[in-house]
Amino acid sequence: MIKMSKQDYYEIIGVAKGASAEEIKKAFRKKARELHPDNKDSGDEQAFKELAEAYEVLSDEQKRAAYDRYGHEGVKGATRGFDDVDFSSFSGFSMDDILESLFGGGFRTSGGFGRSQGPSHGAHLKYDLEIDFLEAVFGCTKKITVNRLEDCESCEGSGGAPGSKITTCETCGGMGQVKELVNMLFVQTYQVTTCPKCSGRGKQVEKPCRDCKGQGLHRKKEDFDLKVPSGIDDGARMRLTGAGDKGAQGGGFGDLFIIVHVKQHKDFIREGNTIHLKQPVSFSMAALGGELMVPTVEGSKVLKIPKGIQSGTKLIMKDMGVPILNYPNRRGDQVVHINLDTPQKLSREEKELFEKLAEIRGERLDLDKEQREEVKKAKEAKESGAHKKTESESSSEKSDSEASKNNGSGTSKKEKKKEEKNDTFLDKIVDAFRPKEE
Ligand SMILES: [Zn+2]
Ligand SMILES: [Zn+2]
């Protein structure tokens, strides 16, 4: 996390030192759109993280005050370090969603900055959804069950037992929040926190409801139909507005964030919108060409194999890949990787035919006399070279590395000698394999 020289936060955002909160927010939004990794023209993940860090400090009155007085030292450890945030997981979200998930409310187009008055929304919830490979390709509708907080039916969310009197909380005077003096780095300030007496409800009940213990809320299973769009990829997030927890005292529902996990397929490998497939092709078909039925996400399709195809050739099946997210009519391709299927067991007749084929083509299946001589000579040269070496050679590599690790003085002379020997041995090998000049 140590950086040699950190850039000034105001400079990063591009505002003057005395800029208003609104100016900072405006400048930040503009830059965030520019630098966000999803932006193909000017996206820069590292710069975006620095921008996020700068904004986290300058958008917070207390942190900004500490930064103004003491610079980066003043807010050391006060930022959360965006290095760990994986921005690629936000793909498919609007910039407002991203900013909101990083910095909280206030980035939606409606509503101002800061927390709105009145009862607060319930918590956002997370849901892991596992779908099949083909469900991700073509989209699907999934029933998901969320165990979320809802108003208690017995007390209709009030938290009070039937007939129980409800009074305003004395500690916070019904505000639900209290001010507390805190030491924030170098600055002593007031911090607003949830009232400990009424847990932020602003009210106190004489006799709490027995079903919800005065909370006014209880957990209940609720089903939702989730439409998963075609082309969604593993790790993508979706948001179901209003499917999270209910807020206390008439507060609205939070949202449900769905993280999509796509199962692997036995045949297909997905890379973005491209599908890769390994296809074995026989010797005869590779030589003669032909037609094959190959699996695609839409079932088996005919693939023409051109004659003389080589192993490793990639054949493209146009528009047989994954639909592009949010553009269901546009699709990627399927890439078929041709793999020559060498027969491992041959019948007598097959063997004869292959031999016959080799004969017709004038292929030798073994070395000729000259080649044999050459191999023999090379082998002898190698052996005579190795002969001078002792059997300790095999372990010398290990002791060399140990010697360099120890770096001790006692054994250094001996090790050095071995190293020299090694060099000459190596030289011989290199010589033996050096291409002959003609
Ligand atoms: Zn209740
Ligand atoms: Zn209170």
Ligand 2 centroid distance, CA of 194 (Å): 8
Ligand 2 centroid distance, CA of 64 (Å): 30
Measuring CA to CA, which residue among 277, 316, 250, 4 is closest to residue 133?
277
Q: How far apart are CA 33 and CA 384, in angstroms?
A: 70
* pLDDT (average), residues 263-292: 94
Amino acid at site 11: E
Query: Which has more pLDDT, 175 or 393?
Result: 175
* Cβ atoms 327, 311 nearer than 8 A: no
* DSSP-based three-state secondary structure for 407: coil
Ligand 2 centroid distance, CA of 118 (Å): 14
Global pTM reads 0.55
Ligand 2 centroid distance, CA of 245 (Å): 21
Q: What is the DSSP letter of 418?
A: H
* Ligand whose nearest atom lies closest to the CA of 209: 1
* pLDDT (average), residues 165-173: 85
- Tens digit of each residue's pLDDT (9 = 90 or more) over 387-398: 655 444 444 444
Measuring CA to CA, which residue among 306, 287, 321 is closest to residue 138?
321
Asked whether residue 263 carries a pLDDT value surpassing 60, the answer given is yes
What are the phi and psi torsion angles at 343 (to 5°)? -65, 135
Residues with CB under 5 A from ligand 1 (ion): 152, 154-155, 209, 211-212
Q: How far apart are CA 144 and CA 125, in angstroms?
A: 13
- Tens digit of each residue's pLDDT (9 = 90 or more) over 337-365: 999 999 999 999 999 999 999 999 999 88
Ligand 2 centroid distance, CA of 285 (Å): 81
Asked whether residue 231 carries a pLDDT value surpassing 70, the answer given is yes
Q: How far apart are CA 17 and CA 65, in angstroms?
A: 11
* Ligand whose nearest atom lies closest to the CA of 174: 2
Asked whether residue 74 carries a pLDDT value surpassing 90, the answer given is no
* pLDDT (average), residues 76-97: 55
Report the pLDDT value the prediction gives residue 395, as an integer from 0 to 100.
45
Give the list of residues 6+ apart from residue 401 with CB closer than 8 angstroms, or none.
Answer: none
Residues with CB under 5 A from ligand 2 (ion): 169, 171-172, 195, 197-198
Ligand 1 centroid distance, CA of 220 (Å): 13
Query: Which has more pLDDT, 2 or 339?
Result: 339
Report the pLDDT value the prediction gives residue 149, as an integer from 0 to 100.
93
Residue 422 — very low, low, confident or very high, per pLDDT cuts 50/70/90? very low
pLDDT above 90: percentage of residues in the chain: 41
Report the pLDDT value the prediction gives residue 292, as an integer from 0 to 100.
96
Residue 43 — very low, low, confident or very high, per pLDDT cuts 50/70/90? confident
List the structure tokens of 38.
């999803």
Residue 229 — very low, low, confident or very high, per pLDDT cuts 50/70/90? very high
Q: Among 93-102, 261-270, 301-310, 413-422, whose mean pLDDT is lowest?
A: 413-422
For 62, 167, 174, 191, 192, the CA distances from 179, given in Å and listed in that order, are: 14, 21, 13, 6, 5
Residue 286 — very low, low, confident or very high, per pLDDT cuts 50/70/90? very high
Report the pLDDT value the prediction gives residue 98, as an integer from 0 to 100.
62
Ligand 1 centroid distance, CA of 148 (Å): 15
Q: How far apart are CA 203 and CA 201, in angstroms?
A: 5
Report the pLDDT value the prediction gives residue 183, as an integer from 0 to 100.
66
Query: Which has more pLDDT, 47 or 269?
Result: 269
For 129, 177, 338, the CA distances from 297, given in Å and listed in that order, are: 21, 56, 18
| 326 Rama class: left (phi>0) / alpha (psi -120 to 50) / beta | left
* Ligand whose nearest atom lies closest to the CA of 161: 1
Angle at 22 between CA 16 and CA 23, to 5 degrees: 30
Maximum Cα–Cα distance across the chain:
109
Residue 228 — very low, low, confident or very high, per pLDDT cuts 50/70/90? very high
Task: Annotate 178-247 with DSSP letters as a single string.
Answer: EEEEEEETTEEEEEEEE-TTTTT-SEEESSB-TTTTTSSEEEEEEEEEEEEPTT--TT-EEEETT-SPBP
Q: What is the DSSP letter of 263?
A: P
Query: Which has more pLDDT, 116 or 138?
Result: 138
Angle at which helices 412-432 and 369-387 cross, to 10°: 170
Beta strand pairing call for 140-151 and 217-228: antiparallel
Average pLDDT, the chain: 79
Angle at which helices 45-58 and 61-70 cross, to 10°: 100
Residue for token digits 């936060």?
A: 9
Residue 119 — very low, low, confident or very high, per pLDDT cuts 50/70/90? low
Residue 91 — very low, low, confident or very high, per pLDDT cuts 50/70/90? very low
Domains and CATH numbers, the chain: 1-112 (1.10.287.110), 114-165+206-264 (2.60.260.20), 269-360 (2.60.260.20)
Ligand 2 centroid distance, CA of 256 (Å): 28
Report the pLDDT value the prediction gives residue 6, as an integer from 0 to 100.
78
Ligand 1 centroid distance, CA of 214 (Å): 6
* Ligand whose nearest atom lies closest to the CA of 213: 1
